[in-house]
Amino acid sequence: MTAKLIDGKAFAATVREKVAGHVARLKEDHGITPGLAVVLVGEDPASQVYVRSKGKQTVEVGMNSYEHKLEADTSEADLLALIDKLNKDDSVHGILVQLPLPGHLNEDLVINSIAPEKDVDGFHISNVGLLGTGQKSMVPCTPLGCLMMLRDYHGSLSGMNAVVVGRSNIVGKPMANLLLKDSCTVTIAHSRTKDIEAVCKQADIVVAAVGRPEMITGDWIKPGATVIDVGINRIDAPEKGEGKTRLVGDCHFDSCAEVAGAITPVPGGVGPMTIACLLANTVTACCRANNLNEPEGLTA
Ligand code: NDP
């Protein structure tokens, strides 16, 4: 392997430390404890794991965690009433509704009922619009984590050619907007892109958010480019024993690492940064709500 490994796990620990420092100062200097409310509807096992992990890390950095677990058949009216209550609660600075929601609930309606300044996932249409027009907003956590790692590694991103593979609302599009805001020349590739390999090969930065295991291989990468692999895919791993699986990204790690200048691993790359950025967004939201200076380096 020739590429430098961008260690998301270690970087996320430094972000959490910074957040914890700000939380301590908010408590000491202003008597304010940031609070994050997480709403889970139903019993999706993966969502339960995420929510537990978010709650644990929230408490570890000194913030208040409020978990609201609702039955899978909760009505839209009841969910909206809870969000309305949380919107009005001054001890809650961030609200996250764990997605996906059960089919009978309208996700767009629910997300857009969160007060935009408390929308720590950055999915509210106001925040999408603010980010799209280069204004101050709450920024979606996964792309924010990618941006932090890129800034940390490169310093300025200005003038770099960036290719984002994937155009989802939660990763691809906000990632492209963030890179544009940092003055990259940005291309978004997707399932209809022609000669996607050649498109990737001219990039100084490739961000892969596709959901296809190991799709991007080393021969797609320009020598020395930086590869940020957002993908989390579970594949069979017969080499580990019958029925065993392992996690891989959207990039084929070994071949990409032979060509790239730097690369994030899966697991241990973008993944840990996502919750760290959720905590960062909550402390940012708390500072904004109280007209206090925002912590530096924790937002776009
Ligand atoms: P989506 O399924 O919403 O979007 C995938 C995108 O990839 C689409 O825009 C799709 O294009 C594009 N795509 C699919 N197949 C191809 C292909 N063969 N060639 C080019 N483009 C293709 O996924 P998400 O954005 O939600 O997630 C992407 C990956 O990131 C997943 O592996 C997910 O698990 C992971 N993820 C990781 C997170 C983390 O914390 N690390 C957080 C969120 C996601 P089109 O629009 O044309 O269909």
Are 145 and 267 found together in one domain?
Answer: yes
**Is 257 domain-assigned?**
yes
**Is 285 domain-assigned?**
no
- Which one of 81, 115, 149 terminates a domain? 115
Q: What is the pLDDT of residue 143?
A: 98
Are 147 and 221 found together in one domain?
Answer: yes
Is residue 98 part of the annotated active site? The answer reads yes
Are 97 and 156 found together in one domain?
Answer: no
Q: What is the pLDDT of residue 1?
A: 72
Q: pLDDT tens digit string along 88-138? A: 999 999 999 999 999 999 999 999 999 999 999 999 999 999 999 999 999
**Is 124 domain-assigned?**
no
Is residue 229 part of the annotated active site? The answer reads no
Give the domain CATH number at 186: 3.40.50.720
Give the residue-averaged pLDDT of 143-155.
98
**Is 179 domain-assigned?**
yes
Domain count, the chain: 2
Are 150 and 263 found together in one domain?
Answer: yes
Sheet holding 94-97, edge to edge: 64-70, 35-41, 94-97
- Percent of the chain topping pLDDT 90: 99
Domain with 58 in it? 31-115
Query: Could you identify the atom of ligand 1 that is nearest to the CA of residue 192?
Result: 47
Q: pLDDT tens digit string along 49-102? A: 999 999 999 999 999 999 999 999 999 999 999 999 999 999 999 999 999 999
Residue 235 in tokens: 């594949």
Are 77 and 155 found together in one domain?
Answer: no
**Is 134 domain-assigned?**
no
**Is 11 domain-assigned?**
no
Residue 100: asked if its preceding bond is cis (omega within 30°), the reply is yes
Q: Is the CB of 157 under 6 A from ligand 1?
A: no
Q: pLDDT tens digit string along 177-216? A: 999 999 999 999 999 999 999 999 999 999 999 999 999 9
List the alpha helices (DSSP H) in 61-95: 76-88
- Which one of 97, 115, 133 terminates a domain? 115
Q: What is the pLDDT of residue 226?
A: 98
List the alpha helices (DSSP H) in 187-230: 196-201
| Probe residue for ligand 1, chosen from 47, 121, 191 as the CB with the greatest number of ligand atoms within 8 Å | 191
CA distance 115 to 143: 21
Q: N- to C-terminal Cα distance for the chain?
A: 31
DSSP 102: P
Give the residue-averaged pLDDT of 216-243.
97
Residue 82 in tokens: 């809870």
- pTM beyond cutoff 0.85: yes
What does the longest C-alpha to C-alpha distance in the chain come to?
56
Q: Is the CB of 140 under 6 A from ligand 1?
A: no
Is residue 240 part of the annotated active site? The answer reads no
Mean pLDDT rounded to a whole number for the chain: 97
Are 162 and 221 found together in one domain?
Answer: yes
Q: pLDDT tens digit string along 17-26? A: 999 999 999 9
**Is 176 domain-assigned?**
yes
**Is 161 domain-assigned?**
yes
Are 161 and 266 found together in one domain?
Answer: yes
Are 51 and 94 found together in one domain?
Answer: yes
Contact call for residues 224 and 205 (beta carbons, < 8 A)? no
Give the domain CATH number at 98: 3.40.50.10860
Are 188 and 82 found together in one domain?
Answer: no
Are 189 and 258 found together in one domain?
Answer: yes
CA of 119 relative to ligand 1 center, distance in Å: 22
Q: pLDDT tens digit string along 152-178? A: 999 999 999 999 999 999 999 999 999
Q: pLDDT tens digit string along 238-267? A: 999 999 999 999 999 999 999 999 999 999
